[in-house]
Structure 1
């Protein structure tokens, strides 16, 4: 994934005064109207940890829950965005996974996007948050909602056992590349997805890059081309997401943000998900990758695509280029 410096767009504010913030928030929600500007000015400019302190302080000061008051005062996409920033990221992602699995049908895109792209530590944190918030097992729910090779892949990812070292082994990469080739393009009939899954779920990212290079030499085409010809549906999408994250994590998120704004209508859930979750981690890097890929800045595209207070909240989180 590369060892470059991560550039968040949202960082803790230095002269943090929970008392003053809570008073401002309370005033913004008192009386007849709601002062969305004041709410956004505070919540877009505090870290996750600082927002958790505000929740506690607010309840201590006023005997009311900050989230309940915010929910009562806000509407639509702005409400969704504010609710998203008020959760610790692992809790927010646990909620997104639950939402993707509740009701008829499952939103497999969200399962892929969260489960297939995270570090071991983050997967463990999401599993723990899911157990606390919903009193259910994420592993069991995912297994109930999915099937076949896709279920096997997600189950392996949820074990959180990827090698996260920076070590590479050329012989092992060659062996993995050959095994994948023999299991897919090198077979007369069918594909043995287990080989693909084993390699993509457990090897470290540097090692995977080497496997992909070796594969291209053996097969005469890219690993992505092999995945596209040998697999289909959700499994194919999940494999391709892992390849994309392996090669360029910031490019992956830039593409996702772009996709959320393409075509008719905007996928606001996706925009909120990517911007909120990456804002304290590497959204600065993602913005650079976005400009490189699409010639337009993320700021400009969101300005064009979204409206009103919601747009201002997103722009506050991504910061001007």
Structure 2
């Protein structure tokens, strides 16, 4: 990995973990915080939001070895509500957490398409492979088959296409001729004909690299005199529209996409806690600082200030710790 890439990634992290880490005293602190009557929530927040995911896994091992109990199960029995949901999310290894979110989005009545779209459109090929592996290990089923059983039509096709991870997200190579051809094909598949050729859109959006697609979007605008987003909005609707727009947003600027997801979770009446927790937990060790900068740029206020205004109690304190300072 080039040094600058490592530096950028380090810059993006809000939860760096403890430099002088020893899991044993941490496990003991947690045990004491939950022993007897009443729970010391602040002690739980201080330990778990200030450790990296890898360190939390070590603490869980030490907790089991010292006290013969499963840490996550103990936390579940002591905590409740959104705070419990957040703390339990922190205890999952990253890919297993995303597999769980996908599984939860499909089980029971009604499918939360938004969750599936968000995860599949915003992860790299490698990340998707790890999520599929974790899903199979934890649920004894194929993620692809479950998605096929739970969705239908073009939405099913775009999700399966994204899951195949045929997008080339490494080379950054752009073939200008192919970019023009792709733009013409998209125009012909949408604006030009009566009825839309959805498969053409799905194929191009799901199999080309981000760098290549950026060029396609530019060429498209020249031909169609409107943005690819506007065409998608006028040609499709519902979950398919959301899925296509998400691929475009993640291609244009991944950090803006996550900033928008967080803003959408916090604005208006009622907080969408599932979206808020998932995005803060899953990006805290990747690029949450960069998402925060983008958030302020886009909405003129900081992510922390919106969390402060929209959440309360231990839940709020834990979220603010994960998001880090605004400086």
Match of residue 43 from structure 1: 48
- Provide the rounded CA distance (Å) in 1 between the counterparts of 2:164 and 2:91: 28
Q: CA RMSD in A?
A: 1.1
- TM-score, with structure 2 as normaliser: 0.95
- Provide the rounded CA distance (Å) in 2 between the counterparts of 1:220 and 1:142: 36
Match of 1:5 among 1, 4, 8: 8
Match of residue 162 from structure 2: 157
Match of residue 215 from structure 2: 210
Q: Which secondary structure does the structure 2 equivalent of 1:5 belong to?
A: helix
Match of residue 306 from structure 1: 311
Q: Which secondary structure does the structure 2 equivalent of 1:320 belong to?
A: coil
Match of residue 167 from structure 1: 173
Q: Which secondary structure does the structure 1 equivalent of 2:21 belong to?
A: coil
Match of 1:296 among 298, 301, 326: 301
Match of residue 272 from structure 1: 277
Residues matched between the structures, number? 318
Match of residue 189 from structure 2: 183
Runs of at least 5 residues in structure 1 that lack an aligned partner in the other structure: none
Runs of at least 5 residues in structure 2 that lack an aligned partner in the other structure: none
Cα-to-partner distance string for 1:293-320 (whole Å, 9 max, x where unaligned): 1111001110010000000000000011
Cα-to-partner distance string for 1:105-128 (whole Å, 9 max, x where unaligned): 111111111111110111111111
Cα-to-partner distance string for 1:28-62 (whole Å, 9 max, x where unaligned): 11122211111111100111111111111111111
- Provide the rounded CA distance (Å) in 2 between the counterparts of 1:154 and 1:213: 25
1:1-321 counterparts in 2 under 5 A? 5-6=8-9, 7-164=12-169, 165-187=171-193, 189-321=194-326
Following superposition, the deviation at residue 248 of structure 1 comes to 1.1
Range moving further from structure 2, 255-264 or 209-218: 255-264
